[in-house]
Amino acid sequence: MTETPIHDPVKNKKANPSFPVFNALQSHDHEQIVICSDPESGLKAIIAIHDTTLGPALGGTRMWNYETEEAALRDVLRLSRGMTYKAAISGLNLGGGKAVIIGDPHKDKTEILFRAFGRFVDGLGGRYITAEDVGMSEQDMEWVYSETKYVTGIPKALGGSGNPSPVTAFGVYMGAKACAQKAYGSDSLEGKKIALQGAGNVASTFARHAAKEGAKLFISDIYQEKAKALTEEVGGTLVPPDKIYGLDVDIFTPCALGGIINDDTMDQLKCDIIAGGANNVLDVENIHGKQLMDKGIIYAPDYVINAGGLINVAGELEGYNEERCLQKAGKIYDTILDILNYSEDNNIPTHVASNILAEQRIAQVGKTHKIYSSKGHFSGRAGETYLTDRR
C-alpha cells in the first residue's frame, strides 16, 4: 500500500488570491475561523475550528508574540487540525479546535484581556471549548472561566482537573511499553536503556514510572539543574543536551522541543524506538517518518502517545475523576499497538497509519449524523414547535 497523506480535497484546486482567509480554511478542511478583536482590552485572537463531526472542538489557547498575523493564522490552523486527529484516534467524542492570542505572555497579560477572550469563546455556544496551552497559566484560565463555561483545565479548587502532566506522562509510559511489546515481544521496561530528553513535569513523571520498573535512564535538559535533580532522584545518568541523540539505547523519549527528528539528527540515532511526550517530533513528517521506517526504528506518533493531556481535560466535561482519566490514558497502549500493526501490515510509516485510522473513525461516526436524534439541532426553536403543534 502506498503512503496516504491526510485527506486534502482542495489540493489540486486553483486558489483564488482574492480570498486568502477562505483559501486557508479550505486548504485543510477547516470549518470556521473566528477573528477576535477588542481594542479596549488589547485582545487580538484567532479561534480555528477544524472539524466537529465527532463533537465540539476542544483545544487549548496559546499566547505568543507572533511576528505577523499570517504566522499566527498558520499556527492556529495547524494546531487545530492536529487536535481533530488526536481526539479521533483517542476515541473521544470531540472535534478539533485551537486558539491563539497575539501578544507577549510576559508583558501583555491582563484580567480584562482574558475576560474579553472568554466572551468570544462563550459566543460560539459550545462549538469551541478552550483549555490551557503554551504561554497561558491557571490564573489566565480562571479569568476566561469567569466569562464562559466552555473552558477546561481549570484549577481543582474550581472543580477542574488542574495540572494534566501526570495523566499525559502515564499515557507516554503506556505507549512506550506498547512499542517495547512490538519490538521485543515483551512490554517490560526492566533493564531497557532510555534516553530521556527533557526534565519537565511530563518527563519527570515518566522517569519515575520507568525507573520504578527498572529502566536505565539517561537524562538531558537545556536547564542543567533540572536535569541533575531528576537524574539524582531516579538514579539515572546525566547527559549533555547535544549528546542525547547519539546514545546507544533501546528507547529515545523526547519530552521537550519539537522538530528534533530532522536531517541533522537522523544519522545520529541508535535506538529501536522513539516514544515521547513532545509535540511535532518529526521536522518534516512525510520525509522523516519514512526515513525512520526505512531505518527500522519504531515511532509512536506524537499526537497519539501524548494524548493523555487531552483525555484529562476532556474528563472535566463529564465530571472530573482522575482515576477514570488514568484508565483512559492507559488505553493508549492498545491504540499504539493497533497503529504499529496497521503500519506493518500496509508497509506505511506509523504517522500515516495513525492518520488513516483517525480518518476512518471520523467517517464512520459521521455517517450516524444522517439519523435524526431527539436531542436535535432545532430544540426550542419556532420551527420545531411548528412541526410539533401541527394537526
| Positions marked active-site | 98
> Residue 320: which of 179, 178, 153 has the closest Cα?
153
Structural contact between residues 48 and 27, judged by C-beta atoms closer than 8 angstroms: no
Residue type at position 118: G
Q: How far apart are CA 284 and CA 349, in angstroms?
A: 13
Structural contact between residues 300 and 176, judged by C-beta atoms closer than 8 angstroms: yes
Burial of 301 (0-12, 13-18, 19+ CB in 10 A): buried
Q: Would you state the cell numbers that stand for residue 84, as one nine-digit string?
A: 481533530
Beta strands at 298-299 and 273-274: parallel, antiparallel or unpaired: parallel
Backbone angles phi, psi at 61, to 5 degrees: -105, 130
Residue type at position 343: S
